[in-house]
Structure 1
Amino acid sequence: MSDESGSNGSGGGDDLSGLSGFFFYVFIVHPATAWILRPGRFERKKSIIYAIGFLALLAAVKTGMEMQAMGPNHYSLLNVNRNSSPLDIKRAYKKMSLQLHPDKNPNDPTASAKFDRIKKAYDVLMDMEFREVYNKFGQDGINSNKRYDEAQFFMELGVFYVTWGIMAYVLTLGSRSGLARQWTFTGLIVMLVIEISIMTSRGNPFPSWFLPQNTEHEAVWLMHTLFPAFMNGCRSIGGYLYVDLDAQTRQLLMALLEQNKDILLVLRDVQIGVQNIQAAGGGGAGNRLASAGTVPVGGAPRATPTGKIRELQDRLQASNSTVQQAVTSLKSAEKSNSNFGFYAMILGYVAFSYIFSSKE
């Protein structure tokens, strides 16, 4: 990494929003978080706290390493802030140049490189046009002589957010990921609004007290960098908090189905017992009527125990058929995540990133 890219807040900073960050979070961080959230490993509240703490710590460490690798930006090098006037910058450069000039540090082999860095920082920040480009696009914008173009900006914005939107949608397919999908897309929309507000603003969009030595480009980079951690955290915690109402309903119906079967068996035994008693107690027309379920009394049919048992048996069989149909309907309505779709999404993202990175 060159000095220019190491002091602009970009360079390797796109790493976490690119392929390496995607694979790192999907294939390493997400399984590790799922291990923490596995049911029975910890108490429910502790599991969530541990998972959030793990994700926050990992994101902070990895982001910190990326920022350290990029080095200080132009404002930090000269020890000025975004609102510093050209006179303040000139004074700061004069002070720093006296300290870092190679003639003042003959024993320091890096003195010349340090002096060149502050000289480049001074040249950029003293030119108000270059300074605005640097704030919006970093050192890469200076090197490529980039200028703000609304059409190009929204095209690049669309590529980034459509890519991550498709990825987030595929990774949160299924009813189990409903909460994760809501949280992820809410975060994506909030990040989009903030980025548009930052990049389309005239002048400094931040209060003077808020990160006074950081640029809009670095703020956008930080959001892009932290989004993969946020998305995978939503996936893990959303899946952990998910309650499968269909599964619970299915279990309840299955229990009811088994209960109905047991009752039917008991009723069948009772019916056989009643018929045996009736057969032993008498015969003739009375038994025939009893077996039919009614006994004439004063010309009107009278219900017998056997008839009531048969009536109850018919009702339970009808209920049993209804429950069985409900269970079958729930089973047929279940949708499982397709591994083919997951791997196709990965290959598509690799190809998509390669095409647009090669165009740049």
Structure 2
Amino acid sequence: MSEDAGAGSDDFSGLGGFFFYVFLVHPITAWILRPGRFERKKSIMYAIAFLAALAAVKTGLEIQQQGPNYYQILDVTRESNPLEIKRAYKKLGLKLHPDKNPSPDAADEFDRVKQAYDILMDLELRDVYNKFGKEGVRDNKRYSETQFLIEVAIFYVSWAVMAFLLTMGKKSGQARDWVFTGLIVMLVVEVVVMTSQDNPIPTWLLPTVTERDIVRIMHSLFPAFMNGCRSLGSFLFVDVDAQLRQFLLALQEQNKDILLVLRDVQIGVQNIQANGISGGGFGGGPLQSTGNIPVTTEGGIPTKATPTGKIRELQDRLQYSNATVAQAVQSLKTENKSSNLGFYGMIIGYIVISYLFG
């Protein structure tokens, strides 16, 4: 596998992978999680299975495009000593030498084996390869704490900004917490892996995986993790404000119905009084008025003391309550949603960052 193919894979796992997840994977996941499509538990299981399978396939294809690393080419491990590496090289050299290998790519295959042998036999170059890959060896790169911190800051700050823009809005609050937690965990793992003297992954678990491979796999899987959090967070979100708004609207309609009934009762009482029947018996003392509702008088006698006054007081109270409910409903109508301008700005920003610091 040539270095050009590896570069193409890196480009796909970066900018191309970003668009792949945002514009294809996220809509499909949203379709799976659409209310009423499946049962709630099944929807979550199907979405997680879809995202996990897709991320595994995509990452597997990227690893396959990158080709085997030097340890895998020679069939040795990170703990192999120079003698074991030399034995493995001689064994492969006899098998893949162009004089004995009939393959049309025999020369390229033998050159890769020779290159792997030269790098792994040099302990200094071997350490550079483990942390920075073939590109680091080619550019004679050495570990610099300042350079490492700058590169890490650029990567994680840019992804933090993208994640924030993609999770704007009330529905994505929980998803934003998950995404930033994943970013922090990935950052800690990368710092530990890249700053340690030896690969912290046990040899018995992943004997041929380098520090560079671990970081690359994490970076490749993060877009899938982020979009999975977005989809599941939106699906599991419970809009308490919307439920409260529906309750207040129902209460407002109930107040309106009661006002209509009281108006009919008031008209009936007024008709009875107009026919000469005294109306003094609504039992009990007058209703206590709230400080926000004015009390009117007729000839020095509070109107609340009469039957029609009591009904009017109830109307005033219901009207005041209705106005309060309407104000509460209005205040709940403003929701923070991500705008299209912010979404497209996020895409442009990602493209710029990718080409400036890629």
Q: Equivalent residues in 2 for 1:342-353 (5 A)?
A: 342-353=343-354
Q: Is the 8 A contact 1:13 1:225 kept in 2?
A: no
Matching residue of 2:82: 86
Residues 26-73 of structure 1: per-residue CA shift (max 9 Å, x gap): 111111111111111111111111111111111111111111111111
Matching residue of 1:325: 327
Matching residue of 2:293: none
Q: Does 1:236 align with 2:231?
A: yes
Residues 214-257 of structure 1: per-residue CA shift (max 9 Å, x gap): 10100000000000000000000000111111111111111100
Answer with 45-54 or 307-316: which moved more. 307-316
3-state SS of the aligned residue for 1:18? helix
1:82, 1:120 → 2: CA distance? 16
1:215, 1:275 → 2: CA distance? 92
1:301, 1:158 → 2: CA distance? 74
Q: Does 1:340 align with 2:336?
A: no
Aligned alpha-carbon RMSD (Å): 2.3
Point out where structure 2 has 5 or more consecutive residues left out of the alignment: 287-301
CA spacing shift, 1:113–1:255, aligned 2, 3 Å: same
Q: Is the 8 A contact 2:119 2:126 kept in 1?
A: yes
Q: Is the 8 A contact 2:304 2:312 kept in 1?
A: no
Matching residue of 2:55: 59
Q: Equivalent residues in 2 for 1:188-207 (5 A)?
A: 188-207=183-202
Shift of 1:204: 2.5
Q: Is the 8 A contact 1:271 1:309 kept in 2?
A: yes
With normalisation by structure 2, the TM-score equals 0.90
Q: Equivalent residues in 2 for 1:98-109 (5 A)?
A: 98-105=94-101, 107-109=102-104
1:129, 1:302 → 2: CA distance? 96
CA spacing shift, 1:23–1:29, aligned 2, 3 Å: same
With normalisation by structure 1, the TM-score equals 0.90
Query: Percent identity at matched positions?
Result: 66
3-state SS of the aligned residue for 1:81? coil
CA spacing shift, 1:206–1:287, aligned 2, 3 Å: closer
Q: Is the 8 A contact 1:22 1:228 kept in 2?
A: yes
1:265, 1:302 → 2: CA distance? 19
Q: Is the 8 A contact 2:51 2:224 kept in 1?
A: yes
3-state SS of the aligned residue for 2:203? coil
Q: Is the 8 A contact 1:257 1:324 kept in 2?
A: yes
3-state SS of the aligned residue for 2:79? coil
3-state SS of the aligned residue for 2:275? helix
| One of 108, 123, 145 as aligned partner of 1:113 | 108
| One of 177, 183, 187 as aligned partner of 1:182 | 177
| One of 24, 28, 37 as aligned partner of 2:24 | 28
CA spacing shift, 1:302–1:135, aligned 2, 3 Å: closer
CA spacing shift, 1:23–1:247, aligned 2, 3 Å: same
